[in-house]
Structure 1
Amino acid sequence: MRMIGLGDNVCDCYLHQGLYYPGGNCVNVAVNCKRDGFEEAAYMGVFGDDDKAEYLKWALDQEGISYERSRVLHAPTGQPGVNLNEEGDRIFVGGIAKDTAQQIVSMCLTKDDLAYLGGFDLCHSSCYSLLEHELHKLQGVVELSFDFSDYRDEEYLQKVCPYAKYGFFSGADLSEEEIKKLIGTCHELGTKIVGVTRGGKGALFSIEGKLYEQGIKKTEVVDTMGAGDSFIAGFLTKYTHTGDPVESLDFAATCAAKTCTIPGGFGYPHKL
């Protein structure tokens, strides 16, 4: 099985540590899918041309993640500032978040890109990737997984849900009734598998209308950065290989808990 992350890359700058870590939703998911059991994982996005971009590529090389069809732009890499609270939850505090490489130039998927993407079993993208206008091109080419984060208004759902098989949301602020309504809307628009993570309350998933609930796995929390991305990667890896929702959700929770025990999205600290 082969998967590819399509979209965002950043370097998370931990101001209190004087360190930065490679990251970004699509990068994190690709790396974790490879670690979790995909035979091959790749990444495609827009890199800057600064030292942060070179370090991101180096980290991907260490993980065996190809990025051969990515673009490079004369612009900075996204560098969100991060601090951790006493519970290990990451708090974003400014940093370079505007006029970054992937914001200045959004990818346009060419015929060659689509032929390349068609060689994968799964493609994962996100609301941070600024590719909503390109998702229709993926229909019939590759199955799409999409992280909506907290982008939940119906106009946005209408742009993405018809093209996504898997949809993942952050919904700790939602009631169970609101979550079920959100899930129903996504199903109506075409997304077959919808998951909503709820922080300490675990996750609620619907697979073609059947609901599943998954609790969290207790662990010693060092840093929650990337835990949600690890949950997504764990679920995608297990579900695409086994088709078992219960086993896949349990594995996803284990992966998220493990990520909470390390700093950064997937490691590789570097001095700021």
Structure 2
Amino acid sequence: MFLICGEALYDVFPSAETETGFTFDARIGGSPFNVAIGLSRLGREAALFTGLSSDPLGRRLERTLKDEGVDTSYLVSKQNPTTLALVGLGAKGVPHYSFYGHEAADRSVGEADLPELSSSLAAVHFGSYSLVVEPTGSSFLELARRSRDAALISFDPNIRLNVEPDVGRWHQRVEAFSEMADLIKVSDEDLETLFPGDGVDSAISRWNSRGVRLIVVTRGSEGALVSLRGEVFEAPGRSVEVVDTVGAGDSFQAALLCGLDELGKATKAGLSEVSPDECRRVVDFAMGAAAVTCARRGADLPRRPDLPSI
């Protein structure tokens, strides 16, 4: 099973102006929430660990997880409200977010909320703004420390400066997680934000030296740059008519973990044994999943029949 750690929220799209204001289209989301659902849709066992509000929005999030087949036993009920992310779409469907989540449930996970991890967990994934908001960020870092010897640790920074504008804070927390990660998926934009002028090669080299076995730098339509245990290669992108790119990175992440699992390599030992050819096939599989999501509105991730075999 995969344990996915991070936020659960609503992406709110302004759909039309009215005489009295706006109408909105609220879509369930949050990067880790999407990854958990994405894995379940791809036929993998997944659970979500987050703080979830007891308000109607939170109960709807939990119902969606159950409907999607995601294990909800790791959810922590909170009285705090549910985060809302107002989404504006820019050029080429690229989203811009405004977050409304001060003291929200997904930011309120304390160390006392940390679960006892099941022996059936093969991998634990961490991602997005939950890594830097407190107390959730510090709690997740402690969970990564506790689980690093037994489970594969996967990590996607997915930086949101409109949640935490201090780049130094992001830098510190990303480097702390990279000390424990076996797999890092990161966008080229996030790398430029974290290490301006430092170069992709420098970040890859530094993370490789810390023992990160697989690093995938996504570059949108240009594909990805991949480092498998220090061996670097490029993976081509996909041509697709983009509706928007909301959830594309989450779809890529879910499919990356799914692909490794289908090959029996989504473990610490497995990631040390995966071959370059297998890695290329898994990354291509993840590219295909992201392309499917880009052709749909919002974070509508593919199901296993939507994608070819690896």
State the TM-score, normalizing by the size of structure 1.
Answer: 0.87
Q: Residue 90 of structure 1: CA displacement?
A: 1.2
* Residue 21 of structure 1 pairs with residue 42 of structure 2: no
Alignment of 1:193-212 (within 5 A): 193-212=214-233
Q: 1:95 and 1:165, CA in 2 relative to 1: closer, same or farther beyond 3 A?
A: closer
Describe the SS at the equivalent of 2:233: strand
Measured in 2, the distance between the counterparts of 1:133 and 1:3 equals 18
Measured in 2, the distance between the counterparts of 1:158 and 1:121 equals 23
- Which of 213, 230, 234 aligns to 1:192? It is 213
Describe the SS at the equivalent of 1:123: strand
Q: Residue 133 of structure 1: CA displacement?
A: 3.5
Measured in 1, the distance between the counterparts of 2:225 and 2:33 equals 24
Measured in 1, the distance between the counterparts of 2:88 and 2:128 equals 23
Q: 1:255 and 1:108, CA in 2 relative to 1: closer, same or farther beyond 3 A?
A: farther
**Corresponding residue of 2:185:** 168
Q: Deviations over 1:149-176 (max 9, x none)?
A: 2479763344112221111112137499
Describe the SS at the equivalent of 1:11: strand
Describe the SS at the equivalent of 1:99: coil
Aligned length: 261
Measured in 2, the distance between the counterparts of 1:12 and 1:6 equals 18
Measured in 2, the distance between the counterparts of 1:147 and 1:7 equals 11
Describe the SS at the equivalent of 2:129: coil
- The one-letter amino acid paired with 2:235 is Q
* Residue 122 of structure 1 pairs with residue 128 of structure 2: no
Measured in 1, the distance between the counterparts of 2:198 and 2:105 equals 39
Q: 1:90 and 1:155, CA in 2 relative to 1: closer, same or farther beyond 3 A?
A: closer
Contact 1:138 1:163 in 2 (8 A): no
Q: 1:54 and 1:109, CA in 2 relative to 1: closer, same or farther beyond 3 A?
A: closer
**Corresponding residue of 1:232:** 253
Measured in 2, the distance between the counterparts of 1:224 and 1:108 equals 36
**Corresponding residue of 2:52:** 47
Q: 1:205 and 1:191, CA in 2 relative to 1: closer, same or farther beyond 3 A?
A: same
Describe the SS at the equivalent of 1:149: coil
Measured in 2, the distance between the counterparts of 1:166 and 1:147 equals 9
**Corresponding residue of 1:133:** 142
Measured in 2, the distance between the counterparts of 1:229 and 1:66 equals 18
Contact 1:45 1:107 in 2 (8 A): no
* Residue 36 of structure 1 pairs with residue 38 of structure 2: no
Q: 1:65 and 1:103, CA in 2 relative to 1: closer, same or farther beyond 3 A?
A: same
Describe the SS at the equivalent of 2:199: helix
Unaligned runs of 5+ in 2: 17-23, 131-136, 160-166, 264-273, 302-310
Measured in 2, the distance between the counterparts of 1:20 and 1:107 equals 31
- The one-letter amino acid paired with 2:155 is F
Measured in 2, the distance between the counterparts of 1:167 and 1:86 equals 27
- Which of 54, 58, 80 aligns to 2:63? It is 58
Q: 1:132 and 1:200, CA in 2 relative to 1: closer, same or farther beyond 3 A?
A: same
**Corresponding residue of 2:235:** 214
- Which of 144, 147, 156 aligns to 2:153? It is 144
Unaligned runs of 5+ in 1: 268-272
Measured in 1, the distance between the counterparts of 2:171 and 2:3 equals 27
Structure possessing the higher relative contact order (Cα contacts under 8 Å, 6 or more residues apart): 1
- What percentage of aligned pairs have identical amino acids? 25
- The one-letter amino acid paired with 2:148 is Q
Contact 2:244 2:294 in 1 (8 A): yes
Measured in 2, the distance between the counterparts of 1:75 and 1:115 equals 25
Measured in 1, the distance between the counterparts of 2:251 and 2:31 equals 9
State the TM-score, normalizing by the size of structure 2.
Answer: 0.77
Contact 1:46 1:107 in 2 (8 A): no
Contact 1:28 1:229 in 2 (8 A): yes
Measured in 1, the distance between the counterparts of 2:129 and 2:158 equals 9
